[in-house]
């Protein structure tokens, strides 16, 4: 009995057990992070191909050659899918959540380390499966990341809808299983492995965000999994869940009676919570950083917690707002519209509290803080167009235009990415024991922030002017001629912004080996990851179990010797 316990009490030796099939949540977190890093570059490359094709439709591009309409749809599908699943879902939750949730609650590891390893490697298999779709007969699928039936449910509806689409669905199903395992682990860990004194209301807001995100994942991914299985059956076993009586190329298909709307309902019941799965961890990081770098307690901690819960809850009530175009009853649309606008309330509470946190603080404008402020900026800019689209009367003309592309990229895409950048610059010293370069971090920030606005703000105007989304070519449409310069501007902005990401990658890898050594608590932060060694030992706290006496954001407490009180400091440091 004791033997089995002591054998594993030391860090595993050997490359395979230590770095490949590791059970250590920190290694698994880094694995998730690098998986997402690879995925984000694949996704960005696809987006650049699309942007270039938009302004030079006849150009022959590297790797893909001339972009035909179906190639464009493949690029669009794979860009969306890879970014949503393998970047926005993987890095903030699987990466940072895995690494820092156990440490921030004072646990030695996740509740189920073997399950944790399995969920990473399952995600990895899902990623390989989706990449394989590029290389099969017919190429990658055409049906967009939303995979609307019947396009996605018929194997002869387009060149990419053969094996490519099967691989796409299989990849998503595998990803669902991985995410469910991850969510189970996150929730159990948060509920069961908190250190003594770490009450729920003393958890850092990052932990709250990961916890609520895991609950959303637990409830949402099962639905997508069953939707995907129905889709596979429709494609391969002749069932008619989603496919009505259809004629493809003059040929009557054998299906009858299925409902394409059924797919939309199931997909968006997952799809809308997915938006919050992507953004909530970013909100957590922004809250943590704004407080730390303003040297002030977070403004309205409890309100922040309840706002996260409210956003998570309402996130399940609004999937219909993606389907205003589907001919739903105006009464149903009204209900969905009302619920959607209600999300504005907790979102505004969060924004108000973030601004309240910075207000009057002694703000330290270091790179992580810049990104946290950038997050708030993008969240507001992208969020404000939300209430527009939440109203059916406005959504119907704007729905299939670039307006929506601008909206969701700002709020769900780049804001979440800014959360990841903030997290990277902030936690890098703890993860790798060295500091990232500050100057290049700032340069990277400025180019990325300005570039992001240059790319996505004009899309709102394009959309209002009627530029459709998902069209591979519109340079010959007379009514869009005047918009070509604006499109050209966006493409140049995209190329510059994407190029600037190499600054980040070089900074990341250079600092990993050559950066100045980091102290245990370089940002003078209060949460538990900063009390342990840098990088943390195998069991996180070197055989100790931390005991928590303070809330997570006790900065500038009157009477305290320093301007911050660690969560583990004795309870009598200061009266407050």
Partner 1 sequence: MATLSSPVTIDVSKTGQGGGGTRPPAYGGGGDGRGDGSPDYGARLRRVRLGLAIGLTSITMIFVSLTSAYVVRRGLPTLDERTNTYVRDWIPVDLPIALLLVNTLLLLVSSITAELARRQITRQAALAPVRSIPGVSLGEDKAFPWLGVTVVLGGGFLIGQWMAWRELADRGFYLATSASSSFVYLLTATHAVHLAGGILVLLYAATVSLLHKPVEARRIVVDVTAWYWHFMFLLWLYIFGLLWFVR
- Positions in the binding site for partner 1 (CB under 8 A): 1-2, 4-9, 23, 107-114, 180, 183-185, 187-188, 191-193, 195-197, 218-223, 225-227, 229-230, 233, 237-241, 244-245, 254, 256-259, 262, 265-266, 269, 538-539, 543-547, 549, 568-571
Q: Are 132 and 46 in contact (CB under 8 A)?
A: no
Q: Smaller CB distance to partner 1: residue 252 or 393?
A: 252
What minimum distance in Å lies between the beta carbon of 175 and partner 1? 14
Closer CB to partner 1, 171 or 240, in the complex: 240
Q: Which is nearer to partner 1, 447 or 573 (CB)?
A: 573
Q: What angle do CA 319, 321, 323 make, to 5 degrees?
A: 90
Closest approach of partner 1 to the CB of residue 308, in Å: 19
Tell me how far apart the alpha carbons of residues 400 and 313 are, in angstroms, rounded to a whole number.
27
Q: Rounded distance, CA 451 to CA 219, Å?
A: 36
Of 49 and 184, the one with the shorter C-beta distance to partner 1 is 184
CB-nearer residue toward partner 1: 112 or 492: 112
DSSP sequence for 148-202: -TTGGG-TTSSGGGTHHHHHHHHHHHHHHHHHHHHHHHHHHHHHH-PPBT--GGG
6 or 13: whose CB is closer to partner 1?
A: 6
In whole angstroms, the minimum distance from the beta carbon of 111 to partner 1 comes to: 5
- Residue 209's nearest CA partner among 270, 272, 274, 278 is 278
Work out how close the CB of 321 gets to partner 1 at its nearest, in angstroms, rounded to a whole number: 18
Minimum distance from residue 470 beta carbon to partner 1 (Å): 27
H or E element at residue 60: strand 60-61
Comparison of 323 and 398: residue with beta carbon closer to partner 1: 323
Give me the least distance between CB of 186 and partner 1, in Å please.
Answer: 9
To partner 1, the closest distance from the beta carbon of 123 in angstroms equals 16
Measured in residues, the chain has a length of 576
Question: What whole-number distance in Å separates Cα of residue 452 and Cα of residue 124?
Answer: 29
CB count in 10 Å sphere of residue 37: 19
- 3-class SS shares of the chain: helix, strand, coil, % to 5: 65, 5, 30
Question: Residue 496's closest CA among 34, 42, 44?
Answer: 44
Question: Which of 261, 447 has the CB closer to partner 1?
Answer: 261
Q: Are 224 and 172 in contact (CB under 8 A)?
A: yes
- Of 406 and 546, nearer to partner 1 (C-beta) is 546
At a CB cut-off of 8 Å and minimum separation 6, what does 218 contact? 180, 183, 184, 187
Which residues lie closer than 8 Å to 404 by C-beta, 6 or more apart? 389, 398, 463, 469
Is 261 or 465 the residue whose CB approaches partner 1 more closely? 261
* CB contact at 8 A, 357 and 291: yes
Tell me 22's DSSP state. -
Contacts with 315 (C-beta within 8 Å, 6 or more apart), sequence order:
216, 272, 273, 275, 276, 343
1/60 with CB nearer partner 1? 1
CB of 230 to partner 1, least distance (A): 7
Q: What minimum distance in Å lies between the beta carbon of 369 and partner 1?
A: 29
Least separation, in Å, of the C-beta of 399 and partner 1? 23
Shortest Å distance, C-beta 256 to partner 1: 6
Dihedral sign for Cα 279, 285, 288, 294, please. negative
Contact 291, 355 (CB under 8 A): no
* Per-residue tokens: 565: 């009180």
Paired tokens of 32:
């998730």
258 or 368, CB closer to partner 1?
258
Name the pairing type of β-strands 60-61 and 251-252.
unpaired
- Of 139 and 320, CB closest to partner 1: 320
| Token pair recorded at residue 90 | 């993987």
CB of 7 to partner 1, least distance (A): 7
Give the tokens for residue 95: 């990466």
**Least distance CB 258 / partner 1 (angstroms):** 7
SS3 247: strand
């Amino acid at each position: 009995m004791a033997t089995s316990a002591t054998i594993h009490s030391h860090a595993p030796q050997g490359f395979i057990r230590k770095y490949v099939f590791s059970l250590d949540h920190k290694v698994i977190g880094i694995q998730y992070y690098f998986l997402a890093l690879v995925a984000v570059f694949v996704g960005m490359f696809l987006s650049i191909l699309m942007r270039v094709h938009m302004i030079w439709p006849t150009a022959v591009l590297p790797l893909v050659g001339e972009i035909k309409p179906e190639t464009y749809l493949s690029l669009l599908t794979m860009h969306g899918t890879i970014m949503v699943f393998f970047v926005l879902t993987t890095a903030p939750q699987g990466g940072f959540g895995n690494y820092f949730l156990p440490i921030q609650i004072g646990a030695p590891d996740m509740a189920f380390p073997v399950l944790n390893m399995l969920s990473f490697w399952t995600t990895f298999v899902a990623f390989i499966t989706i990449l394989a779709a590029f290389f099969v007969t017919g190429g990658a699928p055409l049906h967009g990341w939303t995979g609307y039936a019947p396009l996605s449910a018929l194997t002869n509806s387009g060149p990419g809808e053969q094996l490519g689409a099967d691989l796409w669905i299989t990849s998503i199903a595998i990803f669902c299983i991985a995410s469910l395992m991850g969510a189970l682990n996150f929730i159990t860990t948060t509920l069961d492995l908190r250190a003594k004194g770490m009450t729920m209301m003393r958890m850092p807001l990052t932990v709250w965000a990961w916890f609520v995100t895991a609950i959303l994942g637990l409830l949402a991914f099962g639905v997508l999994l069953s939707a995907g299985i129905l889709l596979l059956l429709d494609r391969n076993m002749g069932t008619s869940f989603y496919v009505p009586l259809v004629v493809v190329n003059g040929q009557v298909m054998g299906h009858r009676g299925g409902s394409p709307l059924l797919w939309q309902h199931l997909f968006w019941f997952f799809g809308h919570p997915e938006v919050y799965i992507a953004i909530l961890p970013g909100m957590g990081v922004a809250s943590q950083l704004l407080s730390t770098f303003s040297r002030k307690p977070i403004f309205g901690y409890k309100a922040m917690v309840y706002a996260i819960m409210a956003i998570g809850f309402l996130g399940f009530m609004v999937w219909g707002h993606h389907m205003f175009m589907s001919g739903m009853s105006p009464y149903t649309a009204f209900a969905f519209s009302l619920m959607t606008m209600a999300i504005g309330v907790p979102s505004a509470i969060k924004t108000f509290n973030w601004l309240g946190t910075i207000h009057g603080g002694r703000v330290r404008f270091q790179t992580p803080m810049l990104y946290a402020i950038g997050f708030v900026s993008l969240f507001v800019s992208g969020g404000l167009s939300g209430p527009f689209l939440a109203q059916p009367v406005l959504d119907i003309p704007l729905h299939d235009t670039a307006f929506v592309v601008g909206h969701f990229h700002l709020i769900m895409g780049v804001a979440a990415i800014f959360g990841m950048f903030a997290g990277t610059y902030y936690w890098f010293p703890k993860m790798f024991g060295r500091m990232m370069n500050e100057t290049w971090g700032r340069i990277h920030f400025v180019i990325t922030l300005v570039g992001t606005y240059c790319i996505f703000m004009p899309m709102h105007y394009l959309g209002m002017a009627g530029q459709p989304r998902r069209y591979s070519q519109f340079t010959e449409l007379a009514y869009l001629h005047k918009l070509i310069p604006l499109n050209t501007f966006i493409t140049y902005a995209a190329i510059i912004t994407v190029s600037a990401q190499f600054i980040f990658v070089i900074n990341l890898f250079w600092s990993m080996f050559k950066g100045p050594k980091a102290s245990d608590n370089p940002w003078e932060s209060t949460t538990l990851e900063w009390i342990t060694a840098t990088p943390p030992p195998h069991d996180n706290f070197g055989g100790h179990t931390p005991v928590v006496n303070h809330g997570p954001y006790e900065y500038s407490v009157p009477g305290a010797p320093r301007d911050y009180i660690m969560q583990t400091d004795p309870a009598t440091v200061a009266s407050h």
